[in-house]
Amino acid sequence: MAGKGVVKSIYRAMIALLYYWRDEYTRIFRDAEVLVFFLLLPTAYPILYALIYNPEVVVDVPVAVVDESRTVLSREIVRNFDATPAARIVSHCANLDEARLLMMQRDCYAILVISADITDAIARGEQATLVFYTDMSLLLNYKSLYMALTEVTLDMDVTLRQQALPIGVSNSIMNIAQQPVPYASVVMFNPTSGVASFLIPAVLVLILQQSLILGIGMLAAVWHEKGRGWYAPHRIWAQLCARTLCYVSIYIFNIVYLFHFVPWVFGYEQLGSAIEIFLWALPMTLSSIFMATTLSVWVREREYVYLLFVFTSVVFIFLSGIAWPRYAMPEVWRYLSYMIPSTWGIECFVQMNTMGATLAQASHAYVCLWILTLIYAATAYITMRYESKK
Amino acid sequence: MMCSGVWRVIVREWRCIVAQPLLPLCMIGMPLFGMLFFLTMLSNGLPEHVPTAVVDLDNSALSRGFVRNLQAQQAIDVVMQCNSYSEARDAMQRNDIYGFILIPHRFAAMLADAKQPAISFYTNDAYLIPGSLLYECYTTQSMLVSAGVVQEVLQSLGLPERRILSLLQPLAIDSQPLGNPWLNYSVYLSNSFLPTILQLMVLLVTMYAIAREIKHRRTDAWLLAARGSMPVALVGKLLVYAFVFIIEGVLLQSLLYGYMQYPHHAPMWRMVCAMALMVVATQSIVLIVLSIVPILSIAYSVVSVIGVVSFSLGGFSFPVPEMYVPFRVLTNLLPVRHYFLIYVNNALNGYPLYYCRGEYIALLLFVLVALLLLPRLYSVVWRYGR
């Protein structure tokens, strides 16, 4: 007899679950604003961001040259520097003032000054100095230009040193004097050091989380505005499960789109196994849903969604450690970052997708993601109970 | 008459602000939190002590000396010694390290034989900032090793000491990073991202302030306070927010240039003016959006997109001249982009005012366009807000 009662109550719970599930679909698909957050935002934003950063690297930054030497050597320096991908010589100026004027007009971002006596200095066996002024409004410009110029001078150093050696030195000594310890630098996982390849994978994960926060917040706002309590006071678990199933089923499309289609279209690294990325997407989506449900308690009107949550994207992307590494953060922010699903989500996704790690290697972030899922499931449940009693 | 109208709108607006926690939170709480967040987050300037590993297959006195020198660099923290390349790669994939250096087997012996053994270093540019910092350190370090060897060889050839030193690096670069010689990330990120956060909050709060009247159909009361004059009603309302945000903007500038001592090479009024103009121009954008798109939900989305995309399109991390043409055009529509250029010209570089006249005028143009569209906004408010 008791068995029959259990079966019956499970049956009832299942019916309720299916009812709430369907109910949630109706609510979502009737509200254009919610659809914008759930479907349009995750579809359009990645394209927008990927296109903004698509040039990936800084090339041909305009540079002015003040060549006071006008010798074979100085012209070779200028020619070699111009030949690097980073720099483009836009003007040969007569003096520094003229070059400075170009810089003020934003016609160039750096000035290379070659003093009159470099050829003489080299011939005398002294060190010659090139003065290089750079505009520091963008570190990316400075870095690529400085690196290019360093490589040019290192390259020419080899020849100059060889020319300075006494006649009759053996070839092997010659080689070792030129470059005794050649170095091979291997840039891993982002071979071009591209901005998009490093930033977009993180942005994709953040978009998943933020679209859920905004969309679920908007759903809550609709209910709050209508003045009714948000939830029926019974079967909270069934409601939570039904909602979760509903959002997850919609987000299957977004997950495939964000984490397979977009990286494929724009040719980003995709080293991870597809199955493991799906395994990662599950706790990422769940924890975002539960966090969004928890946060939605503060959304009283539709506008609150924009006012409260748009700002958080900026904070979350910095907390994730993709731009500013986590070891360099002050403790407070590091602990705060542990509370945000996108932190672990971005870490785990970048590890697998960009760095080709297996899920086992990324297990730390993955486990943390599941722990957050459990914590936020509890808070979501408490929120729903609290809301339903009002 | 007009003044009293403006005054009454202002009083009415302040009553609305203090009546609920949302507006104070967004107007004051979030921008202040943003300042605290970025200035403390980036307070180191550079993410130094990057965790790295060393794969020393040689284990000679020479290679160990090399590792010790590496460890002595401020930017690097050698956290582990790995026995093989695969072990180090595994640690990198686990995010324990951001790069490693591999010293080959028989390194010292080959060096003595003049066989040019190569040192390889691996950096993880999936994390671009620590990755490129490591690259710099590794290059410097291996150049120093090379220099040591070259010095010995040249000595053995009998060259005089004075010539040897100059032959180690015949062409030297005297790099002058203008305005930011410390290569401090905070100087450049705080100066661009914090005004952008302010712009985002100005957009959202101004939008809310006007849209609230329309949504709750309270424009009658609003216009009544302004004695039926739409310009008075708008000026009164926008003044309140402009006042608060400009004060916050000046607070931000005094934090950056006063407390943090970031470069500031121009008269103070130029930056203060730029901040005030940016706030007003941003408010004008809201007016423009509302008069073109009278549907509130779409208008909210549009201003949110403008606010968020500014972080990328502002050209703070990726230069605008490198972007595709449509984006380059769009950057001109962001007040914070003009503010940033004014900052670069004045505070960072100390150029004459003449070279950023265009930016000041651009900021004023936003206001002008909003004024031209005012009749349309008036009809929008009238039609939807009663």
pLDDT digits (tens, 9 = 90+) for A304-340: 999 999 999 999 999 998 989 999 999 999 999 999 9
Is B312's CB within 8 Å of A49's CB?
yes
* Phi, psi values for residue A87, rounded to 5°: -110, 150
Is A58's CB within 8 Å of B208's CB?
no
Based on the domain organization, do B252 and B294 belong to the same domain? yes
Q: Over 90: is that where the pLDDT of B359 sits?
A: yes
Is B174 inside a domain boundary?
no
pLDDT in tens, A27-66: 899 888 899 999 999 999 999 999 999 988 889 999 999 9
> Residue B67 belongs to what domain range?
50-168
Based on the domain organization, do B248 and B361 belong to the same domain? yes
Residue of B nearest to A304 (CA): B22
Any chain B CB within 8 A of the CB of A207? no
Residues of A in contact with B111 (CB under 8 A): 180-181
Based on the domain organization, do B147 and B243 belong to the same domain? no
- Chain B segment 192-211 residues within 8 A of A by beta carbon are 193, 197, 200-201, 204-205, 207-208, 211
Percent of chain A, pLDDT > 70?
Answer: 97
- Residue A216: other Cβ atoms inside 10 A: 28
In order, the DSSP letters of B14-47 are: HHHHHHSSHHHIIIIIHHHHHHHHHHHHTTTSS-
Residue of A nearest to B139 (CA): A183
In order, the DSSP letters of A212-264 are: HHHHHHHHHHHHHHTTS-SS-SS-HHHHHHHHHHHHHHHHHHHHHIIIIIHHH
Residues of B in contact with A350 (CB under 8 A): 126
Q: Over 60: is that where the pLDDT of A299 sits?
A: yes
Q: Over 60: is that where the pLDDT of A359 sits?
A: yes
Any chain B CB within 8 A of the CB of A119? no
Q: What is the DSSP letter of A299?
A: -
pLDDT in tens, B146-187: 888 888 888 888 888 877 888 888 888 999 999 888 888 899
Is A188's CB within 8 Å of B124's CB?
yes
Closest Cβ–Cβ partner in B93, B143, B170 for A355: B93
pLDDT in tens, B198-245: 999 999 999 999 998 888 888 888 888 888 888 888 999 999 999 999
Contact partners, residue A195, CB within 8 Å, separation at least 6: A53, A56, A57, A140, B128, B317, B318
Based on the domain organization, do B203 and B228 belong to the same domain? yes
**Segment B276-290 mean pLDDT:** 96
Is B331 inside a domain boundary?
yes
B contact test, residue of A61, A69, A137 with most B CBs within 10 A:
A137
Percent of chain B, pLDDT > 70?
Answer: 99
- Chain B segment 218-277 residues within 8 A of A by beta carbon are none
Q: Which domains does chain A have, with CATH numbers?
A: 15-54+194-389 (no CATH), 61-178 (3.40.1710.10)
Based on the domain organization, do B234 and B254 belong to the same domain? yes
CA distance A389 to chain B (A): 23
Based on the domain organization, do B37 and B55 belong to the same domain? no
Q: Distance (Å, rounded) from C-alpha A165 to C-alpha B139?
A: 25
Number of folded domains that form chain B: 2
Based on the domain organization, do B239 and B328 belong to the same domain? yes
Is B323 inside a domain boundary?
yes
Is B176 inside a domain boundary?
no
Structure ipTM = 0.93
Q: Over 60: is that where the pLDDT of A1 sits?
A: no
Is B173 inside a domain boundary?
no
Is B173's CB within 8 Å of A179's CB?
no
In order, the DSSP letters of A175-188 are: HHHH-SS-EEEEEE
Based on the domain organization, do B35 and B134 belong to the same domain? no
Based on the domain organization, do B24 and B107 belong to the same domain? no
Is B153's CB within 8 Å of A180's CB?
yes
pLDDT recorded at residue B333: 94
Sheet of B50-56: strand order equals A183-188, B119-124, B99-103, B50-56, B76-82
Which helix or strand (DSSP H or E) is residue A132 part of? Answer: strand A128-135
Based on the domain organization, do B192 and B118 belong to the same domain? no
Residue of B nearest to A33 (CA): B297
Any chain B CB within 8 A of the CB of A360? no
Is B154 inside a domain boundary?
yes
CA distance B353 to chain A (A): 10
Report the CATH number that the domain containing residue B70 is assigned in CATH.
3.40.1710.10
Q: Distance (Å, rounded) from C-alpha B150 to C-alpha A207?
A: 53
Is A310's CB within 8 Å of B308's CB?
yes
Closest Cβ–Cβ partner in B169, B200, B311 for A127: B169
Q: Over 80: is that where the pLDDT of A15 sits?
A: yes
Domain boundary among B168, B194, B217: B168
Based on the domain organization, do B193 and B337 belong to the same domain? yes
CA distance B325 to chain A (A): 10
Mean pLDDT of chain B: 90
Closest Cβ–Cβ partner in B125, B311, B352 for A188: B125
CB pairs under 8 A between A and B: 326
Burial A253-279 (b: 16+ CB within 10 A, else e): ebbebbbeebbeebebbbebeeebbee
A3-12, A208-217, B254-263: lowest mean pLDDT where? A3-12
Q: Distance (Å, rounded) from C-alpha B203 to C-alpha B309?
A: 13
Angle B12-B16-B17 from CA coordinates, rounded to 5°: 115
pLDDT in tens, B105-155: 998 888 888 788 888 999 999 998 999 889 888 888 888 888 888 888 888
CA distance A385 to chain B (A): 24
Number of H helices, E strands in chain A: 16, 5
Residue of B nearest to A148 (CA): B173
Based on the domain organization, do B58 and B100 belong to the same domain? yes
